[in-house]
Structures are given as C-alpha cells and as structure tokens.
Amino acid sequence: MPPKIVPTDRKILMTSDLPAALEDLIACPTCDALYKAEIPKAGARMACKRCHRVLISPGRRAGAKIILLALAAFGLVMGAVFQPFLSIKRFWITRDATLVETALAFEGPLLILSIAMLALVILLPVTRLLLTVYVLSPLVLNKPALPFARVAFRIAETLRPWSMAEIFVLGAAIALIKIVDLAHVSLGPAVWLFGGFVILLALQNTLMCRWSVWKALDDA
C-alpha cells in the first residue's frame, strides 16, 4: 500500500497525485500545505492557497540588492555601536552613552541580561548579514558556492527569529516616553543609524526568496 501525505486539514493526497521527485515539492511553513514548486512569471509570486503565505517570490537581481542592503546595514550598525545613543541631562550633569557603554555599566545578573540584549539586538543580526553575503556573493557572480554555504544559510535562517533589532527599537521608544519627565533627553546619532539599520533589515527580509536561494545552492 503506497504511503500517504496528510496535510493539517486532514485532506488525504496519494503519492500518485504528487510529483515523483521530492525536490519538486514545497511545503508552506505556516500551515504545512504541500505544493508543486513552480517558478512564477516575472513580477508574480507563488502563495499558499490556504493561508496566503508567500512561498516563492523571485525578483530580478534580488541577490545583488540583498547583498548591497546587507553591506549598508552592516555599516549603519557599526556606526550605531560606537556613536552616542542618548544624551541625558539632569540639572547640571550631562551624560552621553553608547549601547556598549550602557550594557557594561551594569553588574551581576543585570550585566548578563545586558550582554544577552546586545547579542540579540546586534550580534545575531550582524551574523545573519555576514552569512547572507557569504552565501549569495558567488551565486550572484554565477560562480560555484563557497564551502559550507548550505550550512551557513541554514544557520542564518535559524537565527532569524532570534534577531530582535526591531523589538529593541520599540522598547527604547517606550523607555524614552517614561524618562522624558525625569530628565532632558536628547537623541544621539546612533538612534538614527540604528533606525536605518532596522529598515534595511526589513527590506532585506522582504526581498529574500528562500526557496530561490536553496535552489541556486542545489544547482551550484
């Protein structure tokens, strides 16, 4: 008796109804619906009919755009790390602080939490950017993939849910609202650099078609 594939809606599809090669199948990461992977026409996208999650969205020269966005985001976050983030003035005392100085100002358990915050907000996003450039650069140049490119891309995708730069921006905005009545707060250059960094990360994630990257790695 042939095996069966049972999607989440309990509708049974026999293997005879599906392509023979597993490489031709794509599963929706949201609802687990199974489809035959087909490259859409120019300007079109393949989406799940059940939950409307975009499955395949190849774009013209998307790889080069993603690399440029990654390099620009890397430059912005490096500037944000070493530039003043906030300037707080209370009476005659003024204090400028960078993200790193703020994290290292705590001791004990709070220091551990601060370092964890820096890792989630800066280290993990930067790691993903560098891994993305490492994986896509030879593919864009039509050259063989670099060693361990598949492992690097898998790590980048695993780290994606833990990259919380945008969450930090929301938390910082809420904190500013609460302390603005206690002292005079001025935004430093790092705030605007980090805001641009978050925007570029969002654009990069929008352009990224993960199915296309995996297919290009298989072909390479």
* DSSP secondary structure string for all residues of 108-168: THHHHHHHHHHIIIIIHHHHHHHHHHHHHHHHHTT-PPPTTHHHHHHHHHHHGGG--HHHH
Q: How far apart are CA 9 and CA 211, in angstroms?
A: 24
Residue 26 has pLDDT above 60, yes or no: yes
Mean pLDDT computed over 201-217: 87
Backbone angles phi, psi at 131, to 5 degrees: -65, -40
By the 8 A CB rule, do 158 and 150 touch? Answer: no
Q: Name which of 47-51, 124-128, 138-142, 169-173 the model is least confident about.
A: 169-173
**Burial category of 151 from C-beta neighbours within 10 Å (exposed 0-12, middle 13-18, buried 19 and up):** exposed
DSSP state of 189: H
Report CA 205 to chain centroid distance, whole Å.
Answer: 6
Q: Is 80 helix (H, G, I), strand (E, B) or coil?
A: helix
Whose CA is closest to 195, among 206, 207, 187, 186?
187
Backbone angles phi, psi at 184, to 5 degrees: -85, 120
* pLDDT tens for each residue of 74-125: 999 988 888 888 777 777 777 777 777 766 667 777 778 878 888 888 889 9
Q: Name which of 44-53, 172-181, 209-218 the model is least confident about.
A: 172-181
Mean pLDDT computed over 25-36: 83
Which pLDDT value is given to residue 154? 93
Percent over 90 (pLDDT), the chain = 20
The sign of the dihedral angle between the CA atoms of 38, 154, 160, 201 is negative
Mean pLDDT computed over 39-44: 74
Mean pLDDT computed over 21-37: 80
Question: Left (φ > 0), alpha (ψ -120 to 50) or beta: where does 43 sit?
Answer: left
Which pLDDT value is given to residue 173? 75
Which pLDDT value is given to residue 206? 85
- Could you count the other beta carbons within 10 Å of the beta carbon of residue 38? 11
Q: How far apart are CA 14 and CA 12, in angstroms?
A: 6
* pLDDT tens for each residue of 137-160: 998 888 888 899 999 999 999 988
Calculate the average pLDDT of the chain. 79
* pLDDT tens for each residue of 60-77: 788 889 999 999 999 999
By the 8 A CB rule, do 13 and 34 touch? Answer: yes
| Tokens of residue 35, six digits | 């489809």
Residue 178 has pLDDT above 80, yes or no: no
Domains by residue range for the chain, with CATH:
4-56 (no CATH), 62-219 (1.20.140)
Q: Is 96 helix (H, G, I), strand (E, B) or coil?
A: strand
Residue 42 has pLDDT above 70, yes or no: no
More confident residue, 35 or 70: 70
Residue 6 has pLDDT above 70, yes or no: no
